[in-house]
Amino acid sequence: MELYYSEMDSPVGTLTIVSNGEKVIRIDYGSFADLEATMTKWASHFFDKPVFIPKPEKVHHVITELRDYFQGKRQNFSFDFEYYGTPFQQKVWKALHDTIPYGQTRTYKDIAGTIKQPKAVRAVGGAVNKNPFSIVVPCHRVIGANGKMIGYGGGLDKKEFLLTHEAK
């Protein structure tokens, strides 16, 4: 299976965008060279013999929208993307995407309630940590019950930047 990728520079560092040719399937912090082993392992769970091919034209529209976001011109994204993960993870990611507006935050407990599994707060945290769509599926908008920023796959500095950016 051919998967296409490109990178972009952003205020939070390099982002790698991956597409299956029709939909975006990942947006990760870091360069492809740094992520290649992890990406290959991940893709092997969902695709037969994944091969990553650098092809910027397959994700150019995504890069344009992300640049608009960082320039304060965009709050939502219009490109198609597809979740690859467990059914529970997909439910959590969909809740993040669909229920946390730009510039607002929710707690892990809020998300557990949204998916109607109020006792699954830790499992929600695990799913949030595996979010394959940095920025677009706004896991940076999830905070601890005490109102503090806790955990973020990209690092708390990036989470703080994104929340401050959206608060403007």
Residue intervals in the chain for CATH 1.10.10.10: 87-166
- Average pLDDT, whole number, for the chain? 95
The confidence score (pLDDT) of residue 107 equals: 96
Alpha helices, DSSP H, located in the chain: 32-46, 60-70, 87-99, 108-114, 121-129, 156-167
Q: What is the pLDDT of residues 22-61, one digit of tens each?
A: 999 999 999 999 999 999 999 999 999 999 999 999 999 9
* CA separation for the pair 109, 125 (Å, rounded): 9
Q: Give the list of residues 6+ apart from residue 115 with CB closer than 8 angstroms, or none.
A: 91, 92, 95, 124
The pTM assigned to this predicted structure is: 0.94
Task: Count Cβ neighbours within 10 Å for each residue of 32-56 and write b for 16 or more, e otherwise.
Answer: beebeeebeebbeeeeeebebeeee
Give the CATH number of domain 87-166; options: 2.40.10.10, 1.10.10.10, 3.90.1150.10, 3.40.640.10.
Answer: 1.10.10.10
Question: Which residues carry out catalysis?
Answer: 139
The confidence score (pLDDT) of residue 151 equals: 74
